[in-house]
Amino acid sequence: MNPLSSTVLHLDTVTRIHGEGATEVRALREVSFRVAAGELVAVMGPSGSGKSTLLTMAGGLDAPTSGTVSVEGVDLATLGNAGRARMRRTSVGYVFQDFNLIPALSAVENVALPMELDGVRSRAARAAARAALEEVGIPELADRFPDHMSGGQQQRVAIARAVVGERRLILADEPTGALDSETGEEILRLLRARCDAGAAGVLVTHEARHAAWADRVVFLRDGVVVDETGADPADVLLESRR
Amino acid sequence: MSSWRLAIRLARRDALRARGRSILVLVMIALPVLAVTAADVVIQTQEVTGVEALDRRLGTADAQVTVPAEGRPMVQRFDPMDGATTVGGKPDPPTEAEISAALGGARLVEERVGSVSYATDKGIGYVEVTEVDLRDPVADGLFELTSGRLPETAGEVVVNDAVLDSGYALGDTLDLGRQNPAPTIVGIADSASLRTAPTAAGPIGSLGLDARNGASPGWLAEGGPVSWDAVEALNTMGALVLSRAVIEDPPPASEIPEELNWDSGDDSMVAAVALIVVMALLEVVLLAGPAFAVTARRQARSLALMSATGGTPAQSRRVVLAGGLVLGGAAAVLGVVLGIGAGWLLLPVVQRWSSHWFGPFDVPWPHVAGIAMFGLASAVLAAVVPAWIAARQDVVAVLAGRRADRPPSVRSPILGVVLLGIGVAMAAYGAAAGSGSGEFLIAGSAIVAVLGMILVVPVVVAGVARAAGRLPLSTRYAARDAARHRTRTVPAIAAVAATVAGVVTLGIGLSSDEAENEGTYTPSLAMGQAAVTGYDLRPAAWDELARVVDRELPGATVTPMTGVGGEDWVDLQEPGGSAPLLDEMSVGFGSSMLVGRSVPDLVPGIAAADRERAAAVLADGGVVAFTDHDVAGDEIELMAGERGTTIRVPAAYVRFQDDTYPTLAAVASPEAVERLGVDVGTVAVAVAGADVSTEQEQDVTEAVAAVNPNAGFYVERGYQAEENTRIVQFVLAALGAILMLGGTLTATFLALSDARPDLATLSAVGASPRRRRSIAASYALVVGFVGALLGAAVGFIPGIAITYPLTAPAYTDTGPYLDVPWALIVGLVVGLPLLTAAIVGLCTRARLPMVARLD
Ligand SMILES: Nc1ncnc2c1ncn2[C@@H]1O[C@H](COP(=O)(O)OP(=O)(O)OP(=O)(O)O)[C@@H](O)[C@H]1O
Ligand SMILES: [Mg+2]
């Protein structure tokens, strides 16, 4: 795997400052890192260290105060709001800790949402959504509404939505935070499988056990990357930090 | 299109999920739609339009031809009832044969329509009569026989129940007065058009209709359709024609004669309707606004997720707007369907109150479509601001679970203040413009001012929250919460404010109008006095009148008043002066010069000292002359009308007090009139010393009319506020209260459901369940009080302005009158918010939610 040749996400000296003067908060300070296709990168760090902020930068939901964020070689700053929205519809998938799904839409509709928003015909979008649900192993839940699903099932649907179509970048912010460990492992297995199939993934997590699924781990503290494991197995690195 | 489909699907599902809120919006929008639709159906049905009324007016005839005595040639609109006049005035009306010839030899059946007086069990009444051969098939449909038979000879008539109710029965003779026919009632028949008024019908001559009582010769024509050309030909001959063919299929509007081609669409009417629609729309939008604001907030996470998966702001906006479309559409359909049903159910009830027979059930579809559009538009408009705010929400913040409105923008309050300024300027300009264009400027200023006020509300709410620091916990919490969630608070406050502003404006207008009426009222008699007046009465009639009053009002002093009468009159002149003593006067007591030894007590506006002075002069054989300016002399010249006698007698000049309108020129002593040699007789009957009740007044009036229709009875009761005004004021207050209650209640309960998580937190830290009640009541108080205060302030702008065109008409020097109904305003600003808060406090469940549930 050559990370340089197929970089999907590239953050270059990204800084994000909230507020001004006395209330200024530096959520990220000159953070740089790359994620290549087929790679799953775990981001770890204490609460308030800027992990979620990093993900919102990567998905173009928020813009850095300085530095550049590129997805598939395109600088998000040059895209404009509409372009970034299109990118989220077609290239980036998000999975959050909980409340990932729109309660008024059934599972298959939730998965089809980005395609429908992109103007894909409803039938084609649903077909793709059913395929994605099949991939995450819950085809039978397609017509259920989120209110009638367990947390783990909801997260599977969320992952199906994050991968539906030809998504190249999956951003997951503590996707297992609200689940028991066994269910959490299954979710991570799904993410891992998706990355093995060629997508790039960023996984924010608290748990070292989950970071083991990743190819690499990035440590944040107070908005700064304090450590980064190379191609080393994650647990070796974790051991050394303790 | 496809993105709208997604938006509508989301909106529909959300509407079903949040059933309570959806029902609230449905009711708020469907109710006005229902009410207006029902009213429209009733109005359209009771209104008998041209074509519907044809059978009622024509029977089976093809045309109705009348020859008014105005002369030829005439011009008319398609329906001569809508307008007709002579343009030449030459006499010699067409004969029946000429008319028939002009209609191509049509068969003519004579028909006369008019009204005559008849004797009732109470006195004299009027009956609408038609003289036509009812047995002729051409008259089919004019009257419907319900019992008895149709008249066959000129001595027979049919009447309706109203005539029977006034003291007649089948077989009786109808008493039409001495010189008229006395036909026998042989049947009971309802007129096709008049329902409650007394009606009678019989052959020509049976009811004594002729030129004396204003009936013109007329015919029902049968002999094929009558074209507009034929109508015009008959117009030239001096006749007017109601042609079935012309009404059913009217010629182009350009055919209407120039003389009668006025613009039937009244501009001011259109403007008034437009104003009412705008105000109603504003009110509904503001009332429904909080519901959409809360809905949009509940959707905040869904919308943020949509953004995270690549939805654009436009798509988020559409989802919220689609909520308006879905609920507005459903409410419009529901309102229209129920409205038509309600109209149908109401018809029999309304018919009972109406004097006319209604037409066939009539649903005015174009109107109904407009009303439905109104419902849809109000819902969509109510969703516009929440949609706009939802599209601009901070996605990252919402996803992170933080929520609050953005800080208030500075620009909109400034725009609001500017609008308020424009409103004040428009109102002032309208007040200066006076009646005519002024009203519309002022009404426009009301809308501008209310819009400006809405933009200022956020700042006021923020100010209240800041000032709430020292208030008790519940009030402080409510004020802060109101300020934090402006999207739902502002429309609620604005709805209350707009209502109060409207009520205050109308209230000021109404009571000022009332103040004008009271201020410009001129009594005809001294307070508490009564009089019988009349014209063309013989002395015997006066005696009879005095007797009748004496009988009806035992204990009253009944005094015949003598005055100069008959063919005679007397001119008064100050010796050496040339100006008239009175610029204007109206004869109040049958003669401008009364004869007697004193100024009668019932003449209003005379000071006691003047009365003594007058009595002294009259004892001396002199004359009391009334003036509207100071005259110093003590003699007067009297000239007896046509006889030319001129005499000079001692005089007292007396001015009426307090702007009393002169009802009398002079009182002369008997000696003075004797020297003049003019006729003297009874001219009126004074009634004093009786506290006449309204029922007694009614009885005396009927008894007096029975003696002679030219006589009347009047009791001076001073200024009487019109019953209508009081009813309108009450309705206004009630409507304001309902709207205010509705606006505050919905806003409060929406706020409570929106504030669930916060209340859960409160309960977790140990707040007692009663706290929820006091918070709800406080929130209602904040919304109601701030809204009412702002609304009352804004309402004063057009309210004061409208008094100018209303109470200071250009042609008088009185007014403007300004009377602010403080009781109403204090009730609105202080009473109602407290009442609403109390109701909210009582209706709120005293149970705090135990879990913070997000959805
Ligand atoms: N809109 C904002 N305004 C001000 N400060 C903010 C804002 N958003 C985030 N921050 C601050 O930025 C820092 C990073 O926040 P972030 O949510 O990225 O942390 P995190 O690592 O995801 O924490 P956690 O593990 O608790 O989710 C925090 O100190 C936070 O307070
Ligand atoms: Mg986080």
| Residue range B45-63, pLDDT digits in tens | 877 776 777 888 888 889 9
**Residue B392 sits at the chain A interface (C-beta within 8 Å):** no
Domain boundaries, chain A: 3-91+168-239, 101-166
When mean pLDDT is compared across A191-195, B449-453, B703-707, the lowest value belongs to: B703-707
Q: Mean pLDDT, to the nearest integer, of B400-426? A: 82
Beta bridge partners of B655: B627
| Residues B700, B748 share a domain | no
| Residues B618, B729 share a domain | no
Is A102–B311 a contact, with Cβ atoms under 8 angstroms apart? no
When mean pLDDT is compared across A15-24, A147-156, B13-22, B654-663, the lowest value belongs to: B654-663
Instruction: Give B363's DSSP letter.
Output: -
Task: Describe the crossing of helices B300-308 and B365-391 by its angle, rounded to 10 degrees.
Answer: 70
| Residues B213, B139 share a domain | yes
Q: Mean pLDDT, to the nearest integer, of B761-777? A: 79
**Residue B308 sits at the chain A interface (C-beta within 8 Å):** yes
Are B244 and B225 within 8 A, CB to CB? yes
Per-residue exposure over A217-231, b if at least 16 CB sit within 10 Å of its own CB, e if not: bbbbeebebeeebee
Q: What integer pLDDT is reported at residue A203 of this predicted model?
A: 92
Give a yes or no: residue B344 inside a domain.
no
DSSP secondary structure letters along B654-712:
EEPSTTPPP--SEEE-HHHHHHHT--EEEEEEEEES----HHHHHHHHHHHHHH-TTEE
When mean pLDDT is compared across A69-73, B510-514, B655-659, B818-822, the lowest value belongs to: B655-659
Q: Which residue has the higher pLDDT, A215 or B404?
A: A215
Beta strands per DSSP E along A3-65: 7-18, 25-36, 40-44
Q: What integer pLDDT is reported at residue A16 of this predicted model?
A: 92
Selecting from 3.40.50.1950, 3.40.50.300, 3.40.50.450, 3.40.50.1980, what CATH number does the domain A3-91+168-239 have? 3.40.50.300
Torsion, Cα B680 B682 B687 B693, to 10 degrees, reads -140
Last residue of a domain, one of B222, B247, B263: B222
Tell me how close the Cα of A12 comes to any Cα of chain B, in angstroms.
21
Q: Which of A193, A139, A105 is nearest to B319 (CA)?
A: A105
Q: Share the mean pLDDT of chain B.
A: 83
The single residue listed with the structure tokens 């007014």 is B815
Chain Cα centroid distance, residue B129: 30
When mean pLDDT is compared across A81-85, B202-206, B315-319, B840-844, the lowest value belongs to: B840-844
Residues of B in contact with A59 (CB under 8 A): 308
Q: What integer pLDDT is reported at residue A68 of this predicted model?
A: 92
Are B758 and B767 within 8 A, CB to CB? no
Residues of B in contact with A23 (CB under 8 A): none
User: Atom 10 in ligand 1: which residue has the minimum CA distance?
Assistant: A27
Is B310–A118 a contact, with Cβ atoms under 8 angstroms apart? yes
DSSP secondary structure letters along A165-177:
TT--EEEEESTTT
Q: What integer pLDDT is reported at residue B635 of this predicted model?
A: 84
Task: Describe the crossing of helices B723-754 and B267-298 by its angle, rounded to 10 degrees.
Answer: 20
Q: Which residue has the higher pLDDT, A63 or B279?
A: A63
Q: Mean pLDDT, to the nearest integer, of B359-368? A: 84
Confidence of residue A3 (pLDDT cuts 50, 70, 90): very low
The residues near B102 (Cβ < 8 Å, ≥ 6 apart) are B94, B230, B233, B234, B237
When mean pLDDT is compared across A218-227, B79-88, B321-330, B751-760, the lowest value belongs to: B751-760
Is A56–B396 a contact, with Cβ atoms under 8 angstroms apart? yes
| Residues B504, B584 share a domain | no
Last residue of a domain, one of B192, B222, B252: B222
Last residue of a domain, one of B191, B207, B222: B222
Is B312–A61 a contact, with Cβ atoms under 8 angstroms apart? no
Cβ of A2 closer than 6 Å to ligand 1, yes or no, is no
Is A237's pLDDT higher than 50?
A: no
Confidence of residue B263 (pLDDT cuts 50, 70, 90): low
Q: What integer pLDDT is reported at residue A232 of this predicted model?
A: 47
- The tokens for A191 are 């993410």
The proportion of chain A whose per-residue pLDDT surpasses 90, expressed as a percent, equals 23
The single residue listed with the structure tokens 């600003």 is B829
Q: Which of B783, B28, B151 is nearest to B478 (CA)?
A: B783
Are B365 and B358 within 8 A, CB to CB? no
Residues of B in contact with A104 (CB under 8 A): 9-10, 13-14, 17, 302
Are A157 and A82 within 8 A, CB to CB? no
Are B275 and B443 within 8 A, CB to CB? yes
Which atom from ligand 1 is nearest to the alpha carbon of A223? 14
Q: What integer pLDDT is reported at residue A2 of this predicted model?
A: 45
Alpha helices (H) in A78-175, listed in sequence order = 80-90, 107-117, 122-135, 151-163
Do the bridges between strand A200-204 and strand A216-221 make them parallel or antiparallel, or are there none, so unpaired? unpaired
Q: What integer pLDDT is reported at residue A128 of this predicted model?
A: 92
Tell me how close the Cα of A175 comes to any Cα of chain B, in angstroms.
14
Q: What integer pLDDT is reported at residue B405 of this predicted model?
A: 60
Residues B37 and B65: their CA atoms lie apart, in Å, by: 38
| Residues B782, B752 share a domain | yes
Give a yes or no: residue B389 inside a domain.
no
Residues B419 and B448: their CA atoms lie apart, in Å, by: 6
Residues B230 and B211: their CA atoms lie apart, in Å, by: 26
Burial class of B717 by CB neighbour count within 10 A (0 to 12, 13 to 18, 19+): middle
Are B843 and B753 within 8 A, CB to CB? no
Give a yes or no: residue B287 inside a domain.
no
| Single-letter code of the amino acid located at B411 | R
Q: Mean pLDDT, to the nearest integer, of B446-470? A: 89
| Residues B577, B517 share a domain | no
Give a yes or no: residue B703 inside a domain.
yes
Residues A181 and A174: their CA atoms lie apart, in Å, by: 13
Instruction: Give A233's DSSP letter.
Output: -
Q: Which residue has the higher pLDDT, A219 or B718?
A: A219
User: Mind listing the pLDDT tens digit for each residue in B566-595?
Assistant: 777 788 888 877 777 887 777 778 788 888
Give a yes or no: residue B432 inside a domain.
yes
The proportion of chain B whose per-residue pLDDT surpasses 70, expressed as a percent, equals 93
**φ and ψ of B201, to 5 deg:** -150, 145
Is B307–A85 a contact, with Cβ atoms under 8 angstroms apart? yes
Instruction: Give the neighbor-by-neighbor strand order of the sheet with B711-715.
Output: B570-573, B635-640, B646-655, B623-627, B666-668, B593-595, B557-564, B680-688, B530-534, B711-715
Confidence of residue B2 (pLDDT cuts 50, 70, 90): low
* Ligand showing the shortest atom-to-Cα distance for residue A46: 1
Confidence of residue B854 (pLDDT cuts 50, 70, 90): very low
| Single-letter code of the amino acid located at B481 | D
Q: Which residue has the higher pLDDT, B468 or B2?
A: B468
Beta bridge partners of B646: B639
Across the interface, which of A94, A104, A119 has its CB nearest the CB of B13?
A104
Domain of residue B432, residue span: 415-521+723-855
Is B334's pLDDT higher than 90?
A: yes
Beta bridge partners of B74: B86
Cβ of A52 closer than 6 Å to ligand 1, yes or no, is yes
- The tokens for B664 are 């009398």
How remote is the CA of residue B394 from the centroid of ligand 1, in Å?
A: 14
| Residues B763, B690 share a domain | no
Beta bridge partners of B649: B636
| Residues B608, B510 share a domain | no
Are A233 and A211 within 8 A, CB to CB? no
Q: In chain B, how many domains are there? A: 3
Give a yes or no: residue B402 inside a domain.
no
Counts of helices then strands in chain B (DSSP H, E) = 25, 21
| Residues B691, B764 share a domain | no
Are B170 and B210 within 8 A, CB to CB? no
CB pairs under 8 A between A and B: 78
DSSP secondary structure letters along B36-93:
HHHHHHHHHHHS--HHHHHHHHHTT-SEEEE--TT-EEEEE-SSGGG-EEEEEEE--P
Give SS3 for B477.
Answer: helix
How remote is the CA of residue A44 from the centroid of ligand 1, in Å?
A: 14
Are A88 and A99 within 8 A, CB to CB? no
Best A99, A115, A163 residue to mutate vs chain B (most B CBs within 10 Å): A99
Chain B 16-55, residues with CB within 8 Å of chain A CB atoms: 17
> Which run of H or of E encompasses B342?
helix B313-353
Q: Which residue has the higher pLDDT, B850 or A66?
A: A66
When mean pLDDT is compared across B270-279, B297-306, B323-332, the lowest value belongs to: B270-279
| Single-letter code of the amino acid located at B354 | S
Burial class of A82 by CB neighbour count within 10 A (0 to 12, 13 to 18, 19+): exposed
Residues A149 and B658: their CA atoms lie apart, in Å, by: 87
Q: What integer pLDDT is reported at residue A1 of this predicted model?
A: 44
How remote is the CA of residue B402 from the centroid of ligand 1, in Å?
A: 11
Cβ of A46 closer than 6 Å to ligand 1, yes or no, is no
B402 Ramachandran zone, left/alpha/beta (phi>0; psi -120 to 50):
beta
Is B301–A161 a contact, with Cβ atoms under 8 angstroms apart? no
What residues of A are in the B interface, CB distance below 8 Å?
Answer: 52, 56, 59, 61-62, 81-82, 85-90, 92-94, 96, 99-105, 109, 113-114, 116-119, 121-122, 161
- Residue B21: how many other CB atoms lie within 10 Å: 24
- The tokens for A239 are 């051991």
Is B182's pLDDT higher than 80?
A: yes
How remote is the CA of residue A53 from the centroid of ligand 2, in Å?
A: 7
Cβ of A48 closer than 6 Å to ligand 1, yes or no, is yes
Are B619 and B597 within 8 A, CB to CB? yes
User: Atom 6 in ligand 1: which residue has the minimum CA distance?
Assistant: A18
Q: Mean pLDDT, to the nearest integer, of A69-74? A: 90
| Residues B778, B729 share a domain | yes
Is B13–A121 a contact, with Cβ atoms under 8 angstroms apart? no
Chain B 67-96, residues with CB within 8 Å of chain A CB atoms: none
Residues of A in contact with B311 (CB under 8 A): 85, 89, 113, 117
